[in-house]
Every structure is written in structure tokens, then in C-alpha cells.
Chains A and B, each alone.
Chain A
């Protein structure tokens, strides 16, 4: 079966959803949707044995062959791991949503269409081997996520959150596209595999660092890294199944996938190691610190997601360091890559279950505000158990999956202190320190989340609904995930062999040729080493701080709101809105005078600038005709009447002077032997002067005040500038006349070919009759225009004007 077709299977299935929703209303639409991820998950599972042995699967669908653009589905360990997460958790989320969303009150057809669209997009992102189709799917995840966050579109907060996430992730997506284009120019191919193969040559390319930074921007915005994480807490306005699926388990991991996928290309660069590790680790610390300020259950989980994504990101950065170490596979450097992938699986599992529990509490108690909740332990025992398992795994307690990955994380961070390149020898010591502080806060907020909700005193008077245990269907998915958390702890090495190692081999091909070479064995007990003491320290300090939380949690309020990143974002949006508005108002004055000033100024600047830059100005005094007396006389008359127009006090004088200009021009036509032109000019000038007089006669009394045109220096400068410019152009054009005129041909053929004597008329009706045809059309249009203007005055009727 074609892998490309499987990518598109969900979106094709989505076509039938509205139909099923409308026609088969009795059955919850989710049941039909559930089939799609389940089938896909089963299919992807059958690929496991092939992939675990180091094999890969590929299939291709031509899209635009002439531009070398195709859909290429390439499945190796990394793609398969992500595909299974997407379809597996997708199936559980759909199951959960069947009980979470009411089939009568909710617009299920919208919800499931968006969700299936998202599934296709995610599968496309993780399986594409083609940069352009990867980008296509990447933007589709942004769009479907936008639609899902804004699912309850009548709420203000939903629309705000959707827009914010859209703006930030699409900004990153566009940056990433830039990086992709640079990358494809560098390697002369769109295929990621081929780019990885030429990685050694790409390092020295001029574009390398540009491509690196741009692609990282894409990954950081999508995976909510510092300082782009701000969209994720606002995305919590989405329905809880969406938060569980998109904003914890899948979409936010697209950035991690991107970093992992491109590690083989960029690992050679110190910038990459520093940026990915540093930003990731700082995000981990920062978000875990601020998670404790949150009072909304989903807010806490959002910050914890950001923090955990930062953790995985930093591990991916550290895994790139293995490129620079000799025999890295034999040292502790091998742990980073393995830990990253392992924790990625862990996080998807426990965070999915935690979100679902938060949704259950919201659903059954009517609020997500942690200050109103408490004492639900006895009322909702199953939810409590699930939440406890998830939280303890998140905090890194044994016997849950999170413990194992936390140990490996600490190992990896400690190893980085031994890394002696790119100034890691001086600053590297910071890494385990920040990691440790971040882990302490992770421990505290995990406890904060579960015990503030379920332990303590029950406050039924503050809850909108009396709390009770959720229906069994709603508990199925989180319970399954919670069991999975335990299973991962029990059989970490089986998970490692089947899922993690093939993925690690794809991330670090410079260290391992095949999954079997990944020599990492997950052990529960490493002996008494630094990691163990660090873990014990985390437990001790974390527990102490949680115990005293009520005393110091208030200090978060000391931090001024004006300095937060959200405020910065709001201000940026506000200012760009206001700024663009002001800027437009600045130059779009509404006065034609201003626009004419712009046009003429640019005419001068462009033409004179071209003259100066190309040194094009030239005067050629040869070929000039002798100047006769008549020309001089007419010239003086012309100048005189022109000056009269400019300096006359009354408009009437100006109109008459304009007529004088016209007649002088007609005289010029006469002495330059253009009888047709002279005839036409005389008649037309007469008519237009008459029309001017008509317009003058009808001027309103108020504006008939006779006054001289006001002098404006700017106008004068521009007018003189335009005159000088055009004179220069004319002189230069004359000097540069290189070809003889075509008029010789007319002279020779006017009688023989066209049977005429008047060259002008023959040109007008015969040689170039086409122009004349449209000139009379112009005349006709002008006539119709005047009729329309004068006879059809709709503005007189009330309510007809569009601006009223």
C-alpha cells in the first residue's frame, strides 16, 4: 500500500464527516473517525520489525515534476516513531472526545474535519522527505491548529488565542521556508536524505549559518521555545482533546522532529549545538519556574509542556555534540540522543493523560481554577490515580517512565561539561546547574498540579457543579495512557529496542550505522553516582519547597506585568497596527497636490539619478537646424503668454493667455510645415478655450475671489526641476540619435503603395489606421462620459450616494 496515500487518508476521510454528521445523527460521529487513526496505527505497527532492523520504506507521488516537487513518504526510525505517536494518541484522543463533546450541542462535523486535517498534516510533516512538501504540511498543521483553537469561535479568548498561535507559528514557518530554500540551493536538491549525504560539503557554504538559524526559528516557534512559547498558554482555550493531542503530544513536537531530522546536517556547527542546547535548557528552566504562578489547570500543563519540550530540545542539542567527539558511541555522549527520544515518548504519554484528566475535572466539576478545587481524591478516585501516575512520571519519580528519562537527562547534561569545544569548557558547567534547578521546579509543579486538585479540603460551595467521577468512556483513554507510563518503566529496554534505537540511528547517523549499534541499556540502578545524588537533591529540595509553597508563591506577583513577553507581544501587535496606520496617514494626505509632489519628485530623482549614475548626459551641437527670425518671434510670444499664465491675477487672463499659447503652437506648426496639425490645433484650441470660459463662468461666487497664485518654494523647485530634467532628456536624446528616421519609407511609398499624397493623412488612415480607430473610440467614450456626467446625476436623489 502506498505510504503517500496513507498520509492523505485522514483528510480524504474528512470529506465524509459532514455527511455522516448530518445523516447518521444518532451515532456520535467520533466513532466513525476512530476507525482512521486505529487502522493507520495498526498498519504502522506492522512496519516495526523492518524498521527496527535498520530498514526503511519509501514511496513517491509526483506533484510538479517539472519543478522537481513531489510528495515523498520516507519512513525510518524517527518517522515511524512519530507516526505511531500521532496515530496512537490520535485514536485515544478521538475516543476521549466522543465522551467529552456532546453530539447534540457541539458542531462535531467541524471538529472532526479539522482534527483529521491536522492528522494528515502531522503525518505529512514527519514522513516527508521533500523540503517543499514538508513545508506544505507544516503550514497545514498551523492552519488546522488555528481552526481547532478557535473551535468555540463565539468566545473572545478563543479567537485571540487562535490568532496569536497562528501569527507566531506562521512567522516561524515562513522563516523555515527561507531556510529550506537556502538549503536546497546549497545542496541542489530538495531531498532531505540527499542533503544529509552531502552534509560535509554544506558546512563551508556561505548560506550555512543562515539556513541553520532560519530553520531553528521555525522549530522554536512551533515547539514553543523561549521566547516564542507565549502562544501555547493562550492555545489552551481549545477543547481539551485538542490541547491533549496538538499542544502536548504531537504538533508542538513537530519542532523537535525538525531539529532531530536536521541534526545530521547541522551538527557540525557549533552554533547549532549552542543554540539548541542553550535555548532548550533555558526554556525548560523558565517555563518550569513560571508554571507555579498559574492557577488554571491547563495553564500549568501548558507551561509544563513548554518546559518538557525545552528539556527534549536541549538533549537534541547535546546529541549533536556527539558529532565532534571521537568514538562518541563508546562514551557517555551516546546518552543524549537516546534520552531525547525516550523522553519524547514518555512525555507524549503522560502529558496526554494529564490533559485528559484536566478535561475530566473541568467537565465534572465545572471549573479548572486550582484555587476552587481541592479534596477531589475521594470523589474521583480513578482520575486521581491517573493524575498521580502522570504527575509522578513528569516529576521523575520511580517507578514511572519519567524517572528513567530524567536520569538520562542528568547524565547527558553532566557529560556536556566534559565537552571541550565551542567554549563549553568555560560555560558548560552551567548546563547541569540550570537543568537541576529546572528539575526542582518541575518536581514542585507536578506536586502542585496533583495535590492542590485532589488533596486538601473539598470546597463544594465554590464549584459550579457537584463533582463526581467521570463516565467510564471518558476514563478509558487516560487510563490506558497511565498504564502505558507504568509499562514503559517495566520494559524500558524493549521500548528502547523497538522504537528508540531506530530513531536514534536516524538522528545520529554520524555515530551509528544501524539501530543495533546503539549501545544504550536502560538500567534502574546506576550505582552511587552524581546523577543519583542530584535526583535525591531534587526530591528533597522540591518536597521542601512544595511544603512551603503557600508562603512564597505570593512572591510571583512581585514581578511586574509590564515586563512579560505577553505584554511585549500585545504591544508589538498594537504598535504595528497603530504605526502602520500613522505611517499611511502621514503620506496619504488625500490632497492631489501631495501626490503630484511625490510623483514629480520621483520623476526628477529617478531620471537625474540615472543620468548621474550612468554619466549619460550629452550635448551634441552638430545637426542643429539654423534658427530663423520667425521662430524667435513666436518663441517670445510663447514665453510671454506662458509667463502671463503663471503670474496673472485673474483666471480670465490665464485662460486667454492659454489660448495665445495654443495659437503660437499652431503658428509653430505652420512654419515647421505641418498644415494638418496647424488646422487641427487651431480648431481644437478654439473649442477648448471656449470650454474653459464655460467652466470659468460657472465657478461658484465664493471662490471667484481674484487673487494671484500663491508662491510656494517647494512647488517652484519641483517645477524647475522637472523642466530642467526634461530639457536634459531632450538634449541627450537628440545627441544620441543614432538611427535614421523611418519617414523615408513613407515618402517613397505614399503614392506607389497607398495611392495618396498627404503623408500625414495616409499615415492616419492607412499605415497606422489602427491607432486612429482607437482614438475615435476615445472620442466616443469622452462624449458618453460627458452625457453621463451631466444628464445622469444620481447624487441629487437621496440615499443614492454610496458614502451616505
Chain B
């Protein structure tokens, strides 16, 4: 018999988005200020965990239908392809490139291939954390 978690669920609905926004912020800010893929990933995972606490694992599995093992492998794939892409340009493995672009909405923006690598890290961290929690949580 579940107790009525209406307060928790209501707060969660708001806080989850705050945490997710913060996670995205910290992820993108990582190159210039504290943060990065690792912490960003952990924060994202914690937002999902909060959802799980409030609504239960099965419900969350329905609203966020992600296979976290696949997510982990995609993250690893992204990381290794970013690292090895440099080989195509005849420079050593893991050489990053960056430049400044004038993007329509953002104005002058620095785009860095290290960001792609960080995306890989982010995906792996989220994937692994969620895999662990989900697997242990579902275990009887």
C-alpha cells in the first residue's frame, strides 16, 4: 500500500526541471568554469532518480523509455569516434579542433570538438549510474 506522496510528487515535477537545467548548464559551462560531462551526467542521473523516488521505477521507465545500456555504449562510441576522427585529418589520435562561428541565435560562439567528447562522457555517466540504480532497484 503506497502512501499518498502528493507533496513530493508536486515538488518533484518542478525541481526535476530545475536540476535538469542546472545539469545542462554545468555541462556546457564545463570548458570555462567548473563543471563538465562527469558532474553534468551525475546531476542528470540524480534528476531521474528523484523521479523514480517520487513515482516509482515502473512509471519512470514508461516516461523515460531509455535503455541505459545502449546509452552507455552510444556514449563510448561517441567518445572514441571523436578521439579517432582526428586521424582522418592526418593529425595524431585525440587532436582536438576549435573555431569561432557566427551562429544565428547565439552570435559569436566558440565550437570545440572536445565538447563532443564530453557528450560521450556525459552519456556514459548517465547510462552507467542509471544502469546500476535501476538494476539494484529492480532486484528482489
Contact = CB atoms under 8 A, between A and B. Distances in A.
Interface of A: 675-676, 679-680, 683-684, 687, 691, 694, 754-758, 760-762, 764-766, 769-770, 772-773, 776-777, 779-780, 782-784, 786-787, 790-791
Contact of A758 (B31, B121, B125, B136): B31
Nearest to B122: A776
Contacts of A787: 69, 131, 135
B79 A676 contact: no
A763 to B, nearest CB: 11
Given A676-B39, A680-B39, A783-B128, A776 B121 contact: yes
B90 interface: no
Contacts of A765: 36-37, 96, 114, 117-118, 121
Given A687-B129, A782-B128, A790-B135, A680 B98 contact: no
The 5 closest A-B pairs by CB, nearest first: A757-B32, A675-B34, A783-B128, A776-B124, A783-B131
Which of B34, B46, B69, B80 has the largest count of A CB atoms less than 10 A from its CB?
B34
B12 interface: no
A772 B120 CA distance: 10
Contacts of B61: none
A776 B120 contact: yes
B132 interface: yes
Interface of B: 26, 30-39, 42-43, 46, 68-69, 72-73, 75-76, 79-80, 83, 93-94, 96, 98, 110, 112, 114, 117-118, 120-121, 124-125, 127-129, 131-132, 135-136, 139
A766 B95 CA distance: 8
B36 A764 contact: yes
Contacts of B31: 755-758, 761-762
Contacts of A691: 136
A549 B74 CA distance: 94
B42 A783 contact: no
A790 to B, nearest CB: 5
Interface of A (DSSP majority class): helix
Given A676-B36, A687-B129, A758-B31, 13 more contacts: A683-B46, A758-B35, A761-B31, A761-B118, A762-B31, A773-B80, A776-B76, A776-B79, A777-B76, A780-B124, A787-B135, A790-B135, A790-B136
A679 B42 CA distance: 10
B132 A783 contact: yes
Contacts of A762: 31, 114
A327 B37 CA distance: 95
Given A780-B124, A783-B69, A757 B33 contact: yes
B129 to A, nearest CB: 7
Given A680-B38, A756-B32, A764-B36, A786 B117 contact: no
12 contacts: A679-B26, A755-B31, A757-B31, A758-B31, A764-B38, A772-B121, A773-B83, A779-B124, A780-B76, A780-B127, A783-B68, A783-B131
A683 B79 CA distance: 23
A568 to B, nearest CB: 62
B112 A755 contact: yes
